[in-house]
Amino acid sequence: MLSRQRNLISSYLVNRWTVIAFLILSGYVFAQVESDCTYKGIKLYGRVRVVDTFNRADLKVRFVKSYADIRVRLVDSFANSCGRWRYVDSFEDFTIIIVDSFEDVRVKIVNSFEGVE
């Protein structure tokens, strides 16, 4: 009887710690794009340069079709509001590297209604 109670208590504690660990880690797994269109202090609009090495990239980006953190519209000029990106080769506001997993931000390319989800 006593061992059964111990098993129940230990399984309860394991389940409880699993839930707590998930909630803590979910803040790191899911991107935290702020309502002011920033991620860790980086404005998510403006001139963007795509790089091919991780140490030169400000953000790791994965392009998705659904469940995006931000909707991005690619423009040729006036990338001055949330979700508007202009690809450049120099004088960028921030740099990105395109990845398939372990991204910082999930991006959906749109033709209108750009901005934070």
Domain of 51? 31-116
Domain check: are 53 and 17 in the same one?
no
**0.85 exceeded by pTM:** no
Residue 91 burial by Cβ neighbours in a 10 Å radius (0-12, 13-18, 19+): exposed
Whole-angstrom CA distances from 70 to 5, 24, 45, 80, 98 are: 49, 23, 10, 15, 15
**Token digits for 56?**
């030169």
Same domain, 67 and 93: yes
Same domain (yes/no): 37, 58? yes
Name which of 6-10, 38-42, 67-71 the model is least confident about.
Answer: 6-10
Residues 73 and 23 in one domain: no
Question: Are residues 104 and 70 both part of a single domain?
Answer: yes
Helix (H, G, I), strand (E, B) or coil at 7: helix
pLDDT at 32: 86
Q: Are residues 5 and 45 in the same domain?
A: no
Per-residue pLDDT band for 90 (boundaries 50, 70, 90) equals: very high
Residues 51 and 99 in one domain: yes
Report how many domains make up the chain.
2
> Who wins on pLDDT, 105 or 9?
105
Q: Are residues 50 and 75 in the same domain?
A: yes
Say if residue 51 is in the same domain as residue 40.
Answer: yes
Q: What is the mean pLDDT of residues 100-105?
A: 96
Residue 115's alpha-carbon distances to 12, 26, 106, in angstroms, are 42, 23, 12
Within this chain, do residues 45 and 78 fall inside the same structural domain, yes or no?
yes
Position 11 scores a pLDDT of 59
Within 8 A by CB and 6+ apart from 49, the residues are 87, 88, 89, 90, 92, 94, 95, 96
Q: Tell me: pLDDT of 3 over 60.
A: yes
pLDDT at 117: 72
Give pLDDT, residue 94: 98
Residues 15 and 42 in one domain: no
pLDDT value of position 27: 47
Same domain, 61 and 111: yes
